[in-house]
Amino acid sequence: MTRTMINVLSVCTLTLAGATQPAFSQQADAKTPTDENLVVTELAQGLVHPWGMTFLPNGDMLITEREGGIRRLSQSGELSPRLSNVPEVEANNQGGMLDIAIDPEFEANNTVYFCFSQPGEGGSSSSVAKATLSGNALANVETIFSAAPLIDNGFHFGCRLAFDANKQLFITLGDRYKYMKEAQNTDNHFGTIVRINRDGSVPSDNPFTDGKAPEIYSYGHRNVQGITIHPETGEVWAMEHGPKGGDEVNLLSKGANYGWPVITYGIDYSGDIISDKTHMDGMEQPVLYWDPSIAPSGMTFYQGDLFPQWNGDLLVGSLKFTHLRRIEMDGGKPGEQHEYVRDNQARIRDVEVGPNGAIYLLTDATNGKVLKLTPAK
């Protein structure tokens, strides 16, 4: 394990939803030091584009690799070979083996869930499978959800997972890039967040149970690569990639429309205008958005004893600006934002808080790493 000391960078890059002033610019070269320091410990390396992680009750960690693997990292730092019996994935561009989560009753049933781009006739889709973890293998693998329809491209799969207090599974999806207008259509799964029961059935109180995509919980999303449950309120929060500008953090409401692409704070990569509207009746505003984009991936609220002053703050990874970002939160409202581990120049793909209160990061690279953040003594 390798340990390094880093300084914290502090920046205020917040844009509040509903504000009339233009978005504040992201200061990519901000170097404002604070008195806080962190210790960064490298727990593992050699992972091929690690994407998602989850802790087991014994402190071990399961980690996905985008090209198709799931591996186990023990508390002692041993990285297992890839688990056997993992289903085939469509490892194309952004697709592959993506997020992973354990069952709320894992200690009783040893069940894990993972989201992956599943190949099929005519393309691929974001699918979720459940399986029993048995040593270094999966057993009883069963696909319980597949987004429809299948599309022949490798972009905007979404694929983050989170269980709420009712033990229902939220699955984030994307608009599959070329189909952004379909994010307003609740008869398919493009640009939605869905909610299912652990067996794949549809909760009876889902908002669109009479439609062709009854799993939908909310819609009007672009490419959702972060979802988390607030540890105190139980609210579901999600985070999505905008186009060029307009990354969003949203507080989810059942049946709500988050606007994409009818309203947006971003423009097309070419510079073309996607929409000249940022507000519209019947469409939700983000809690905050970033312009320019930070390319956020992975999110969680901090709760732990190692960083008590951070309790309740939101942690997100930035792929574009290669840092961990902490957003101060007060009563659900965002405040000042801070950047960490930027000097590592590593794309942060996922962030989790461990059972001991340490913060764990995945770096997105061919030689991907697991990093552990703890306070300096």
Separation between Cα atoms, residue 197 and residue 18, nearest integer Å: 34
The two tokens of residue 326 are 């902490």
> Is 34 in contact with 7 (CB distance < 8 Å)?
yes
Please report, in angstroms and rounded to a whole number, the separation of the first and last CA atoms in the chain: 18
Separation between Cα atoms, residue 133 and residue 136, nearest integer Å: 7
Amino acid at 177: Y
Collapsing DSSP to helix, strand or coil, 23 comes out as: coil
> Is 54 in contact with 61 (CB distance < 8 Å)?
yes
Report, in angstroms and rounded to the nearest whole number, the Rg of the chain calculated over CA atoms: 19
β-pairing, 296-301 with 288-290? Answer: unpaired
Show Cβ contacts of residue 143 under 8 Å, excluding neighbours closer than 6 positions.
Answer: 87, 118, 127, 128, 129
Q: Residue 217's closest CA among 184, 191, 190, 256?
A: 256
Q: Which residues are catalytic?
A: 156
> Is 253 in contact with 195 (CB distance < 8 Å)?
no
Task: For residue 106, give the DSSP letter.
Answer: H
Residue 247 to residues 210, 224, 287, Cα–Cα distance (Å) = 31, 10, 11
Separation between Cα atoms, residue 268 and residue 202, nearest integer Å: 35
The two tokens of residue 110 are 């040893």
Please confirm whether the linkage preceding 261 is cis (ω < 30° from 0): yes
Show Cβ contacts of residue 78 under 8 Å, excluding neighbours closer than 6 positions.
Answer: none
